[in-house]
Amino acid sequence: MIKDGSLTNLEHYRLNYLGYPLLLSFLFKYLGNSLYIAFYINYSLIVFSIVLISMASVKLTGEKKLFYYCILIGALTTPFISIGTIILKDSLIVFSFSLLLYSFVSLRNNNNFILYIILIAVSICMIGVMRLPLLILFPLIYLILFNELNTANILKVSVTTIAIIILLPLLSLFTIHDIDFEFIFQNVLSNSLIDRELDNEGVVSSLIGGYIAQPLWFRVLSIPIPFAIQLVTPFNFWSISFLNDHFWYFTTHQLNFIWYGFTGVLIFVSMFNIGFISNTYIKRLFIFGLFFYSLIAFIYGGAIPRYAIPSIVFMIPCFGDILLVSKRNKCLQGRMLSIYASYYVIGILLFIIYIIV
């Protein structure tokens, strides 16, 4: 691409060739050009991400058993599995957020100050290189884990901020974009990627198109619509297109049934039973993850579920804690069964309506 001058016109491709593709190019050069190399790297990143999330959960709560519940939930989170089958940057983004979460929690617990300051700065830079607009969420993580106003927290936040400010200008070497807030907000609000998702006719495309066309106030009030679309799309699990196409379709169709049939339902279970969670930070992380997930649904109308996958990183600790508490709380068990039963009944009714329409 350098020889034929393609890199001089990156905007034409609407791609960032200096991010994850640059990393893959080095791996292909030294490890071989097989696609299995990329798959191995993707799934390694996902596995490390799940482990980091689980370790952060234990550090926050002190519950060692929580580690295994988070590992189980992470393994059953099929959106994680699906992004491992495509040669895109999403697996590295998930890893960056997982590393950021673990580093923040470790820094809060006064573990190896310098190391985790560096890891936080590196995580922020990786997120900026891979998906720049997501940097607008960074201050919220600060508020979640360092809300107590004391000398130690002020020092940690100050040093971390300085390290990030020093490293941010380096992003311009790896991205085709200028690093400024005007670009970030324009990119977030443009919704330009949705156009490609609305080419197909159908109920979902009609709902997304109608939602995007509505005024801002209506979109805010009707956020459950794109939220639900984002949660279950795609849901044609009966498709066998993966037999003649790509394995990715199997992970996003057949396997996705595990997500919107079990793991994803834990979002609603956690929403209605968050009072059973005793750890304040687990609650805050879940609320942040839910906000993150809803924000992506709001911006893209639920049309690009892949963009919301990093938000799951912050909800898994709560999912694991809910399951752990339910093992010794009969009341929570009953409430969980009621939510799952109601969810399935509503889902079956909506599916019947979908078939009729």
Cα–Cα distance for residue pair 234/303, rounded to 1 Å:
10
Per-residue pLDDT at 313: 95
Element (H, E) at 232: helix 224-232
Q: How confident is the model at residue 15 (pLDDT cuts 50, 70, 90)?
A: very low
Q: Which of 209, 324, 204, 202 is nearest to 266 (CA)?
A: 324
Q: How confident is the model at residue 95 (pLDDT cuts 50, 70, 90)?
A: very high
Element (H, E) at 325: helix 312-326
Question: What is the mean predicted confidence (pLDDT) over 223-235?
Answer: 81
Q: How confident is the model at residue 72 (pLDDT cuts 50, 70, 90)?
A: very high
Per-residue pLDDT at 12: 45
Q: What is the DSSP string of 100-132?
A: HHHHHHHHHTT--HHHHHHHHHHHHHHHHHH-G
Per-residue pLDDT at 305: 86
- How many CB atoms within 10 Å of residue 17? 16
Residue 240, SS3?
Answer: coil
Per-residue pLDDT at 236: 63
Per-residue pLDDT at 342: 94
Cα–Cα distance for residue pair 286/73, rounded to 1 Å:
14
> Does residue 177 register a pLDDT over 80?
no
Per-residue pLDDT at 179: 47
CA distances from 146 to 50, 155, 192, 312 (A): 23, 11, 35, 21
Q: Which of 32-46, 108-122, 208-222 has the highest mean pLDDT?
A: 32-46
> Does residue 352 register a pLDDT over 50?
yes
Per-residue pLDDT at 289: 93
Higher local confidence (pLDDT), 173 or 269: 269
Question: What is the mean predicted confidence (pLDDT) over 109-121?
Answer: 79
Question: What is the mean predicted confidence (pLDDT) over 89-105?
Answer: 91
Q: Where are the alpha helices (DSSP H) in 62-112?
A: 65-75, 78-83, 90-108
Q: How confident is the model at residue 235 (pLDDT cuts 50, 70, 90)?
A: low
Residue 114 dihedral angles phi and psi, to the nearest 5°: -65, -45
| Whole-structure pTM value | 0.82
CA distances from 264 to 257, 319, 333 (A): 10, 10, 17
